[in-house]
Structure 1
């Protein structure tokens, strides 16, 4: 979601300067590629780029294609075939050994159409519910639907896409569907989007600052909670989406966690942590991180049991204490990296490992 948020911000800045932009979207990949379908990049008429569609090898040529799309005011699809090992002849030094299809769409300055690409991107990041983005292009010919909504498509196409969209929502996996319309084949890429990870940091000490900063860098929504007004302040946490000050019960009453929410307890106040952990039992959370050694975790859970607060075995699997991956972290910044890495792994349901030891492709099969 961070990439989409950055693209929206760059588009708004360009509009204020009356500068033309185009949106480049990876809509299909065969074989190996640095980025997967759904990767986006905004191109400004000045040559400024926001987001990425590759590891840097495509951007130079994509800039030229995007500027041409702006000049012609026309959507266009460009296919980069990098399966030829002698890719130097393309002039872009790819070396990814895959076929990448990029759709270029010129954007209207201050576009108010609710079905315009930028409006649909805004809608996708606005809430905390799963959403979908549809991007359609002709396999042959020049009639490209581009980034659009289901409602804006012809009814015959809507009928054929509805089931696939429902499936994408249920499985949280993107999909491609090829539909024949008016004698031409069109490929529709339906991207399943999950809301940004929400990180609730309970504890506003100095070691919470790099954790909040790293989460913000990743595009996560950051919430800071503490019982001390002097610590949980906008001056100390300017990037926080929300600041909650009060007792654990008062803080818990203001929280709005969901299945994309992680909570990390790092108050360095044992009694506050105990009370806060007790309130978290009523929420369905995929991740609760406890700063400190395993002995502290055991003591917390034991003391809560003595108070009649017992976590089920399933709830205990969501408690990560000590929080973080074993990266040899020592400093607060290194610990922040360790914690955010573990949260990412949990949210993506992956097992951390060295990529060089992975027998299968890094990404799932290309779509």
Structure 2
């Protein structure tokens, strides 16, 4: 979502009466790549771009290809072979060991179905959407055409191939459950078409309960990732704009009104770091009634244990689901001590949670690093824990 927001924001600055623009999207990867499918960049005819489709090795050539796209107003799909054994000039020396397809589309601001318009629609929906983009078709006029659906079956598209639309729609509906973005092939009347289907989810929304000095780097780091950040406290002096210049919302809210004052969705992470035990305890009680998948509590484990003991006396029993989403102590084990380091630990854990990853060392991962398969993640986690315990045993 961050790429889409950045592209829409930057496109609003372009004077299209003077400039032309194009959008490049990674639509298919075989092997390894720096960016996974769905990575995008906005390119203008004066040689500028925002976003990225690689670690910098493909952007230059994509810029050259984009000039052709902008000149003739025709989309094109470019294949880059970055394997070391490749004879292509771009592949020599890069060693990324992957074959990458990139769709480059012109931006015609007069066309209501231009890529930017689709991105704007996605952002306004403020919920998960499934998007399909054709990048290989026997009819070149179909390349770049899109189909978008929401969980509520709202549909937006500019496809003219009715048979293909029906096939794609079925796969897009399944995407909300599988959450597996990929390039798919469809054969109609003996002719093959390739379509990139992707699940685009809203940006993470972070609510920080407590406006202490150690909350400031958490807010700053979250904003650098494109997250929506709210900081709330019961003391107005703690949430001065001077302390949180990048936050989207600073809110003075008493603990008893938390669940009514904030919109907390499955895309909202909540961090309790007020250093006030009773405040954190009372806010946690409210958060348990919401859909947030992540609740992080700053402080030692015994602090949360005490909360749980008090809850039990009120006949509030934490479910297995509650225990899964509550993280206390908060953060990944990276040896963080200073506030900035703790912020890295916290944000990294939230990122891992929403990406359904275990947060271990990548060198112990058995599958591709961009893969988000639950089964392989469990293997990765077990290997990491085994290796960690082995190293600990050796050092003790």
Q: TM-score, normalised by structure 2?
A: 0.85
Q: Counterparts in 2 of 1:90-105, with a 5 A limit?
A: 90=90, 93-105=93-105
Range with bigger deviation, 91-100 or 125-134: 91-100
Q: Aligned pair in 2 of structure 1 residues 162, 42: CA closer, same or farther (>3 Å)?
A: same
Q: Counterparts in 2 of 1:171-190, with a 5 A limit?
A: 171-180=178-187, 184-190=191-197
Tell me which residue corresponds to 2:131: 133
Mapped to 2, the partners of 1:146 and 1:16 lie a distance apart of: 20
Tell me which residue corresponds to 2:10: 10
- Any idea what the Cα deviations from partners look like across 1:310-364, whole Å, max 9, x if unmatched? 3223212211111001111111111111001111111122112111122222222
Of structures 1 and 2, the one with the larger relative CO (CA 8 A, separation 6+) is 1
| 1:30, distance to aligned residue in structure 2 (A) | 1.5
Report SS of the residue matched to 2:192.
strand
| 1:182, distance to aligned residue in structure 2 (A) | 7.9
| 1:184, distance to aligned residue in structure 2 (A) | 4.7
Q: Counterparts in 2 of 1:213-362, with a 5 A limit?
A: 213-362=220-369
Report SS of the residue matched to 1:324.
coil
Contact 1:265/1:273, CA 8 A, preserved across alignment:
yes
Contact 1:164/1:175, CA 8 A, preserved across alignment:
no
Q: Aligned pair in 2 of structure 1 residues 294, 333: CA closer, same or farther (>3 Å)?
A: same
Mapped to 2, the partners of 1:165 and 1:304 lie a distance apart of: 43
**Any unmatched runs of 5+ in structure 2?**
149-156, 374-396
| 1:291, distance to aligned residue in structure 2 (A) | 0.4
| 1:186, distance to aligned residue in structure 2 (A) | 2.0
RMSD: 2.3
Question: Paired residue for 2:177, among 170, 177, 183?
Answer: 170
- Any idea what the Cα deviations from partners look like across 1:83-125, whole Å, max 9, x if unmatched? 352557348743222211111111124x461x32111112222
Whether 1:83 aligns to 2:83 is yes
| 1:162, distance to aligned residue in structure 2 (A) | 1.4
- Any idea what the Cα deviations from partners look like across 1:108-147, whole Å, max 9, x if unmatched? 24x461x321111122222432112221022567434315
Range with bigger deviation, 15-24 or 155-164: 15-24
Tell me which residue corresponds to 1:210: 217
Report SS of the residue matched to 2:321.
helix
**Any unmatched runs of 5+ in structure 1?**
none
Mapped to 2, the partners of 1:141 and 1:251 lie a distance apart of: 54
| 1:7, distance to aligned residue in structure 2 (A) | 1.1
Mapped to 1, the partners of 2:88 and 2:65 lie a distance apart of: 18
| 1:236, distance to aligned residue in structure 2 (A) | 2.6
Mapped to 2, the partners of 1:336 and 1:245 lie a distance apart of: 22
Q: TM-score, normalised by structure 1?
A: 0.92
Whether 1:71 aligns to 2:71 is yes
Whether 1:122 aligns to 2:120 is yes
Q: Aligned pair in 2 of structure 1 residues 16, 105: CA closer, same or farther (>3 Å)?
A: closer
Q: Aligned pair in 2 of structure 1 residues 232, 43: CA closer, same or farther (>3 Å)?
A: same
Q: Aligned pair in 2 of structure 1 residues 91, 80: CA closer, same or farther (>3 Å)?
A: closer
Whether 1:44 aligns to 2:50 is no
